[in-house]
Each structure stands twice: as C-alpha cells, then as structure tokens.
C-alpha cells in the first residue's frame, strides 16, 4: 500500500516538473519561424522598392516603350510578391508543425494525467474500504498509520490539483487544434494567392509578346491600337446604356442601406482615387455615352491584391476578353468591356463589382469574408482581362442588389452579343461607392 501511494505521488510531482521544463525550453521550430520572419523583412523591403519603380514607370506618357517597360517592371515586382507569399507559406508550414508537436506533447500529458488520476483513485478507494481501527490493528507501528493517513490527505490535494491540470491541458489542446485549423485555412488561402500571382506573371509575359507582335514594335501602330480600343469602348457603352434604359425598374428604397461611411471597406491596401463616380471630365468627353462614370477607379499596379469590400456571395465572375477571341477568329470587331470581373452580392442590399482584373481567385456561389483576396488588379493595355482599360487600375462599382443581374448583351450593335456581365436594371441602380466607403 505504501509503495503504491509513493508511486502515485511521485508520478504527480514528476509530471509537474516535466510541464515546467517544457514551458521553459524554446523549440527549434520556433527559431526557424523567427528566422523566416526576419528573412521576409528583407523581401518586403525589396518588394517596396520595386513597387516604387513600377509606380514611376506607370506615370510615364502612354507610348509603346513605356507600355513594354511597365510590363517588364510588373514582372519583376510580381516575382518579389511571389517570394513574399512563398515565405508566408513556409511560415505557416513551420507553425503547423510546431502546433502538431505541442499538441502531441499535450496528448501525452493527458495520458499521464489520466494514469495518475486513475492510480490515485484506486489508492483512495482502497483506503476508504478499510477502517482506521483495522489499520491500527494490522500495523506494527502506530506512527506508520498516521504517516499513511497524512500522505493520504496530501494525495487528495494532489488529486484535485491533477484533475484541474487535466482540464487545463485539454482546454489548451482544444485551443491549439483551433489555431491549427486557422493556420491551415490561411495556408490554403496563401496557396491560392500564389497560384494567382503566377498566372498574372504569365499574362504579363504573354501581353508583352502580343503587344510587340501586333504593333511590329512601331509607335504609330501602337497609337492606332489605342484609338481602336477607345472607339470600341464607346460602342460598348452605347450598347450597355441602351439595355439598361430598356430594363429600367422601380427600386424599393427600404432595401438600400442609408449612406454612411464605413459600411464598405476599401478593396485595396493603398487607396488613391483616380476617377470618381458620375459626371467626371473623362465621362464628359464621351467615354461613357453621357451617362457618367458608373463606379470609381482606384490606382493599382498590375498584380495588386483586390479584396472583398464586404462579406458576401460571389454572384458572378467572368472574363469578356475570352469571348473576344471568338470574334477575332470570325474576323469580327472585338467587344471592349469589363474584361475579367467579379460581382459580389452582400447581405445588406448592396452588390459590388470589381473589373479589369488580371486574375480571379473565386468561383460563383463561393462565400467570401470582408478583406479576403478575391483576385489581382490589371488594366494594362493588351493584358488578358483588361477589357477597355488603358492603364493599370481597378474599377470598383456599387449597385443596389435588387437592380443588378448578370446578363448577355444580345442587343449589341457592336461585337458584344456573346458577352455576359453585370448589368444594372436601370441607371438608378448605380450607387456612388464613396458614400459607403471609409472617408478619405
């Protein structure tokens, strides 16, 4: 009996010392995680430098030389982005491994806790089944009885402490399991972003090759292409305006939230508005058929992460440029519209549109969180997904959900009959995003 009691107490005290030793010893994985973080700081510094160079190139006048230079600078910047993303993926892998190790330790501790508790309960049960008188009669020395009884009281206290330790260990284990799931979700998201960044690099290279082939490296041919693009844009705007006026519906104001800054979040990390909503100098020039600009334009170099302005469901996604290939093969003029676009329907009666993307990371029906990366900005001339854009930027539109549908432009007089895209069921469905975004 004495030996069993001593074994139980020893097991309890050994476990406590073991736990304290673990808490004080840093793991090699933690050191590796810290090392990767330090290395990423250098990568981020390089990333910022290349971004500054790219911004400077994009401010140059619109010439063939500057377009090619911009695509080259974009490729370098995206390569730096990819290295940063890969570094983040490495960090999450190490974090997952570290969590798995500590979870394994916690599971081992739980087993030891359970064995110690079981042994302590068995010892207590055996003592409870014997009376104090019987212990005195069976013991050769009364002092041994008092010693055992005293140890028994200590065992009771240790057992209570051990049960609390078991509960706490299980609690920490559950927290670490949840953290592991969060890190895994982050890693999946990063893998998607990495894939998107690589596709943007490919599109950038293809655009450069296509641009040089189509213009034969001549400035006059490049300027001619730009003029043709502008003419097709005007034709598209006329087609869209005619359809939206035909579809005019009466909106229910109660289904549209009152204007308030901060209902939406900015879809970009760094915000600079290059064109506002409604009547602008550019729209008055005839670019939007006199109806005003139906969204806002935000400065963004090609490959900039585009984020969901609010949680919602992907209502539509597409790329009108892909349809253009069918027109070109048939010898018909191409349709110049949104290019690659995403439409998100939010739960508050609003829907947001993101256009001229160089890559999309989402699918129709997918639920996204506020701030989740849904794609990458584009807009560089000649890049697949740019649509009628003449330079890198993000077009961000806002509409009342009751007044927007994804439709085919079957009434197009130009080359847009095969195009599917978000269409407002009347011009009053367009809303000014700046009324709902955070104040500048």
**Residue 138 has what pLDDT?**
53
Mean pLDDT, to the nearest integer, of 209-226? 87
Please check whether residues 253 and 178 belong to one and the same domain.
no
| Least confident stretch, 142-146, 154-158, 210-214 | 142-146
> Is the confidence at residue 205, as pLDDT, over 80?
yes
Please check whether residues 335 and 261 belong to one and the same domain.
yes
Dihedral over alpha carbons 156, 159, 160, 164 (to 10 degrees): 170
Structure tokens that stand for 208 in this block: 């450069």
Domain that holds residue 149: 2-184
Mean pLDDT, to the nearest integer, of 196-214? 90
> Is 228 inside any structural domain?
no
Give the separation between CA 202 and CA 200, rounded to whole angstroms: 5
Please check whether residues 116 and 259 belong to one and the same domain.
no
Mean pLDDT, to the nearest integer, of 236-257? 85
> Is 195 inside any structural domain?
no
Instruction: Point out the domain boundary residue: 137, 168, 184.
Output: 184
Structure tokens that stand for 283 in this block: 């729209």
**Residue 434 has what pLDDT?**
96
- Asked whether the beta carbons of 196 and 376 are under 8 A apart, the reply is yes
Interacting residues of 309 by C-beta distance below 8 A, sequence separation 6+: 264, 265, 266, 267, 344, 352, 370, 396, 437
Mean pLDDT, to the nearest integer, of 2-6? 46
Q: Kindly indicate the confidence band of residue 119, based on its pLDDT and cuts at 50, 70 and 90.
A: confident
> What confidence tens digit (pLDDT) does each residue in 28-80 have?
778 888 888 889 999 999 999 999 998 888 888 888 888 899 999 999 999 99
Mean pLDDT, to the nearest integer, of 343-355? 97
Q: What is the mean pLDDT of the chain?
A: 82
Exposure string over 385-416, b if 16+ CB within 10 A, otherwise e? bbbbbebbbbbbbbbbbbbbbebebeebebbb
Dihedral over alpha carbons 200, 59, 433, 338 (to 10 degrees): -50
> Is 95 inside any structural domain?
yes
Please check whether residues 290 and 372 belong to one and the same domain.
yes
> Is 225 inside any structural domain?
no
Mean pLDDT, to the nearest integer, of 344-365? 96
Predicted model pTM? 0.80
CATH of the domain at 295: 2.70.70.10
Give the separation between CA 348 and CA 263, rounded to whole angstroms: 10
Please check whether residues 176 and 61 belong to one and the same domain.
yes
> Is the confidence at residue 106, as pLDDT, over 70?
yes
Please check whether residues 253 and 180 belong to one and the same domain.
no
> What confidence tens digit (pLDDT) does each residue in 269-308 have?
999 999 999 876 655 555 554 567 889 999 999 999 999 9
Query: Where are the extended beta strands (E) located within 239-349?
Result: 273-275, 296-299, 305-307, 312-319, 340-346
- Reduce the DSSP state of residue 121 to 3 states and report it: helix
Please check whether residues 156 and 287 belong to one and the same domain.
no
Query: What is the β-pairing status of strands 305-307 and 296-299?
Result: unpaired
**Residue 259 has what pLDDT?**
95
> Is the confidence at residue 420, as pLDDT, over 90?
no
For the chain, the maximum distance between any two Cα atoms, rounded to a whole number of angstroms, is 115
Interacting residues of 193 by C-beta distance below 8 A, sequence separation 6+: 85, 305, 361, 373
CA 323 to chain centre: 28
Give the separation between CA 408 and CA 137, rounded to whole angstroms: 99
CA-based end-to-end distance of the chain: 77
**Of 113, 97, 121, 131, whose CA–CA distance to 29 is shortest?**
97
Residue 7's H or E segment, with its range, is helix 2-24
**Residue 418 has what pLDDT?**
76
> Is the confidence at residue 359, as pLDDT, over 90?
yes
Please check whether residues 26 and 161 belong to one and the same domain.
yes
The proportion of the chain whose per-residue pLDDT surpasses 90, expressed as a percent, equals: 41
> Is 331 inside any structural domain?
yes
Give the separation between CA 3 and CA 157, rounded to whole angstroms: 19
3-state helix, strand, coil in the chain (%, to 5): 60, 15, 25
Please check whether residues 431 and 299 belong to one and the same domain.
yes
More confident residue, 143 or 5: 143
Total domain count for the chain?
2
> Is the confidence at residue 139, as pLDDT, over 60?
no
> Is the confidence at residue 13, as pLDDT, over 50?
no
Mean pLDDT, to the nearest integer, of 395-401? 96
The proportion of the chain whose per-residue pLDDT surpasses 70, expressed as a percent, equals: 80
- Asked whether the beta carbons of 27 and 100 are under 8 A apart, the reply is no
Instruction: Point out the domain boundary residue: 184, 203, 231.
Output: 184
> Is the confidence at residue 401, as pLDDT, over 90?
yes
> Is the confidence at residue 382, as pLDDT, over 50?
yes
> Is the confidence at residue 217, as pLDDT, over 70?
yes
**Of 55, 354, 355, 359, whose CA–CA distance to 202 is shortest?**
359
> Is the confidence at residue 155, as pLDDT, over 70?
no
> Is the confidence at residue 133, as pLDDT, over 80?
no
Please check whether residues 162 and 288 belong to one and the same domain.
no
Among the ranges 108-122, 167-181, 317-331, which has the highest mean pLDDT value? 167-181
Q: Kindly indicate the confidence band of residue 361, based on its pLDDT and cuts at 50, 70 and 90.
A: very high
What is the DSSP-derived secondary structure letter of residue 438?
P
Mean pLDDT, to the nearest integer, of 97-122? 84
């Amino acid at each position: 009996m004495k030996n069993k009691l001593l074994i139980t107490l020893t097991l309890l005290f050994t476990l406590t010392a073991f736990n304290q030793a673990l808490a004080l010893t840093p793991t090699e994985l933690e050191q590796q995680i810290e090392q990767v973080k330090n290395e990423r700081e250098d990568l981020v510094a390089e990333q910022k430098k290349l971004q500054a160079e790219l911004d400077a190139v994009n401010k140059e006048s619109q010439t063939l030389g500057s377009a090619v230079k911009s695509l080259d600078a974009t490729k370098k910047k995206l390569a730096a982005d990819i290295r940063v993303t890969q570094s983040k993926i490495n960090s999450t892998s190490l974090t997952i491994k570290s969590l798995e190790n500590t979870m394994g330790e916690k599971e081992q501790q739980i087993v030891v806790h359970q064995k110690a508790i079981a042994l302590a309960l068995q010892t207590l049960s055996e003592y409870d089944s014997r009376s104090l008188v019987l212990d005195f009669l069976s013991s050769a020395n009364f002092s041994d009885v008092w010693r055992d009884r005293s140890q028994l009281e200590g065992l009771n206290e240790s057992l209570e402490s051990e049960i609390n330790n078991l509960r706490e260990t299980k609690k920490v284990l559950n927290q670490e399991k949840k953290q592991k799931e969060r890190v895994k979700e982050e890693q999946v998201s990063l893998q998607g972003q990495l894939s998107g960044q690589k596709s943007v690099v490919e599109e950038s290279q293809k655009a450069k090759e296509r641009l040089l082939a189509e213009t034969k490296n001549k400035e006059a041919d490049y300027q001619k292409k730009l003029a043709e693009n502008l003419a097709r844009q005007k034709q598209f705007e006329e087609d869209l305006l005619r359809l939206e006026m035909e579809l005019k519906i009466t909106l229910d104001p109660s289904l549209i939230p009152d204007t308030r800054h901060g209902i939406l979040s900015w879809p970009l990390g760094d915000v600079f508005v290059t064109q506002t909503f409604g009547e602008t100098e550019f729209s008055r020039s005839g670019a939007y058929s006199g109806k005003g600009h139906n969204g806002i334009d935000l400065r963004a170099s090609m490959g900039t992460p585009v984020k969901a302005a609010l949680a919602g469901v992907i209502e539509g996604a597409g790329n009108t440029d892909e349809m253009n290939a069918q027109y070109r093969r048939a010898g018909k003029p191409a349709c110049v519209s949104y290019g690659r676009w995403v439409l998100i329907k939010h739960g508050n009666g609003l829907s947001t549109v993101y256009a001229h993307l160089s890559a999309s990371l989402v699918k129709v029906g997918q639920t996204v969180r506020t701030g989740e990366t849904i794609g990458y900005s584009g807009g560089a001339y000649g890049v697949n997904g740019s649509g009628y854009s003449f330079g890198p930027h993000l077009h961000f539109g806002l509409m009342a959900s009751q007044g927007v549908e994804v439709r085919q432009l079957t009434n197009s007089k130009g080359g847009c009959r095969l195009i599917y895209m978000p269409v407002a069921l009347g011009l009053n469905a367009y809303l000014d995003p700046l009324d709902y975004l955070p104040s500048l």
